[in-house]
Chains A and B, each alone.
Chain A
Amino acid sequence: MNIDLTVNGKPVSIEAEPLDRLLDILRDKLELTGTKEGCGEGECGACTVFMNNKLVNSCLVPAMHLHNANVVTIDGLRDFDFFRFITKAYEENGAVQCGFCTPGFVMSTINLLRNSSEKNVGDEEIKDAFAGNICRCTGYDKIIKAVRQLLTMDIKVPERFYE
C-alpha cells in the first residue's frame, strides 16, 4: 500500500504493508535513526514520537494508521530553541549514561514541558509522565533532577509542531 504522511514537516510518500511499524518506516525507509527500538512491545519508550500531536510508541503504530498523519520525531526537534535547554539540563545533571533511552525520555520531557508549568507538576505527575520510559543506567534520579530543573525555567515549547 502507498501512504502519504508528513514527517518532521516534510510530506513523504512510502510503500508499506498494513502492519509494518512506524518505527521501521522511520529508521529504515526515512533514515531517521534518532528514534530507537528497545523492547518492540510498548514498554520501554525508546521509540517515542509525536503522531498527530500526541505522544505514542512508534513500535505499536501500524502503517495503515498513517494516512495523512503528522509525525514528529526527535530528529525534527533538534533545531528548536527549547531543545538546547533540554540537552544542557540532561548533560549538567548526568542524566545520560549509555544514551539509548535518552531520545524517548527527551520526547516525554517535551510533552511534559508543553503541558505544564512548575506549579501543577508534583512528583506524582513527573512519575506518571515517564511511566512509559525505561532507563537501565541512571536509576532515574538524575533524569528527574534534569526535568525538575527544566520545569523551573521558563521554556517556551510550542503546543504543536509543524502544523
Chain B
Amino acid sequence: MNSMQYYSPNTLDEYHKIYSELSGKDIIVFSGGTDLMIGRYDLPQDAVIIDISRIDELKGIEIKEDKIFIGSCTTLNEILYSHKIQNDIPILIKAIKTMASEQVRNRATIGGNIGNASPAGDTITPLVVLEVRVEIFSPESNEVRTIPIKSLFCGPCATTLKKGEIITKIIIPLSKDKDVFYYFRKIGQRNAMTITKASLSAIAKYSDGKIEWIKLASGSVSPVVKRISKTEEFLKGKVLTPAVIDEAREMIAKEISPITDIRSTKAFRLLITKNLLGDCLYYLIRQQNI
C-alpha cells in the first residue's frame, strides 16, 4: 500500500491547526474504519487522512437536562451496553442489535454510520424519527454548529458536510411523553450480519384507542432516509382498523422511491416496506391490549 499522509489529532483545536496548514488538499475523515478499510485501495492516494479516533471530546454518552449527547466516535457496542441508552432510547438499541457482529461493533462508530450516509445505514432511521440534531465541527472556523439530522443527507452516501467538517455529537431529545411505543425492523438476506434491503423505524403515541401521533422513517427505499410524512399525517387521530392499516400500507408505497440494485428489486422493496408498516401497526395494537 502506498504511503498516505495522515494525522491523528488529540483535540479539535489540534485538528484546526493541522487543517490550516493543509491548504487545499483533499481530506478523508477516518473513525473506526469499518467502512473505509474495505475500500482503502480506492481512496485518492494524495488525500490526507485525519484519524479522529484519538479525540477524547468525541467519545462517550452524557445526559444533560432533557437531552442525551452521544459523541460521534462512540462505538456501536458502547452504545449497546449503555444503561442510559437502554433505558431512554430503546429504539436505538433495537437497531444496533441487528447490526454487523460483535467484532465489527467494537470498532464501528455512530458518527461513521451517519457520515457514511448510506440509505441502508441502520442507525439513521431511528435517529430520524427521534428528530435528533447533529453537532458539526468546522476545522476552517474552529467552531461548532448544530443542524437537524434530516439536513445532513443530500443523496445516497452524500452529506452536506463541507470539506474537513466532522460530526462531533448526536443530540437526542428525551421525550416527555410516557408510554411511547417504538418499532425497528430490518429485512435483509438473512437474520444476522446482513445489509438492509428495507427497514422501518417508528415511534408513536397511542391513547384512547387512537393514534395521537406517529413518526416513521424507512431505510434503503429512497436516496436519503427521510420521514414518511403523508402516511404519518394520515394515521394521526385514527383508530387502527384493518381498513385503515390497508390504506396506510398503500400510502407508504407511494411515498417511497425504491430502486433495483444488487441487493434487491424495486418491487420486493415496495412489498416489504408495506408489510413492515402493517407489522408495525398490528404490533402497536397488540401492545395496547397487553
Contacts and interface: CB of A to CB of B under 8 A. Distances in A.
B102 A17 contact: no
B193 A56 contact: no
Interface of B: 1-4, 6, 8, 30, 33-34, 37-38, 40, 43, 49, 51, 53, 77, 97, 100-104, 106-107, 192-193
A57 B104 contact: yes
A65 B1 contact: no
Contacts of B51: 18, 64-65
A158 to B, nearest CB: 18
B29 to A, nearest CB: 13
A129 interface: yes
Nearest to B2: A17
7 contacts: A17-B2, A18-B51, A19-B37, A55-B103, A60-B34, A62-B33, A128-B102
Given A18-B6, A19-B40, A42-B38, A61 B193 contact: no
Contacts of A133: 101
Given A59-B37, A65-B33, A42 B103 contact: yes
Given A60-B34, A61-B33, A17 B1 contact: yes
Interface in A42-76: 42-43, 45, 48, 54-57, 59-62, 64-65, 67
Contact of B4 (A19, A111, A129, A131): A19
Contact of B37 (A17, A21, A48, A55): A21
Q: Please give me the 9 A-B residue pairs with the lowest Cβ-Cβ distance, nearest first.
A: A132-B101, A131-B192, A54-B106, A18-B6, A132-B103, A131-B101, A57-B103, A60-B37, A19-B40
Interface string A10-34: 0000000111110000000000000
A128 B38 CA distance: 23
A108 interface: yes
Contacts, number: 82
Give the interface size class of chain A: 20 to 34
Given A19-B40, A45-B101, A132-B102, A64 B107 contact: no
A52 B38 CA distance: 22
Contacts of A67: 8
Contacts of B101: 42, 45, 131-133
A128 B105 CA distance: 12
A128 B103 CA distance: 11
Contacts of A61: 33, 37, 107
Interface string A104-137: 0000100100000000000000011101110000
B4 A55 contact: no
Q: Which among B34, B103, B107 has the greatest number of chain A C-beta atoms within 10 A? A: B103
A91 interface: no
Contacts of A17: 1-4
A108 B102 contact: yes
A42 to B, nearest CB: 5
A21 B33 CA distance: 11
Given A17-B4, A128-B192, A42 B106 contact: no
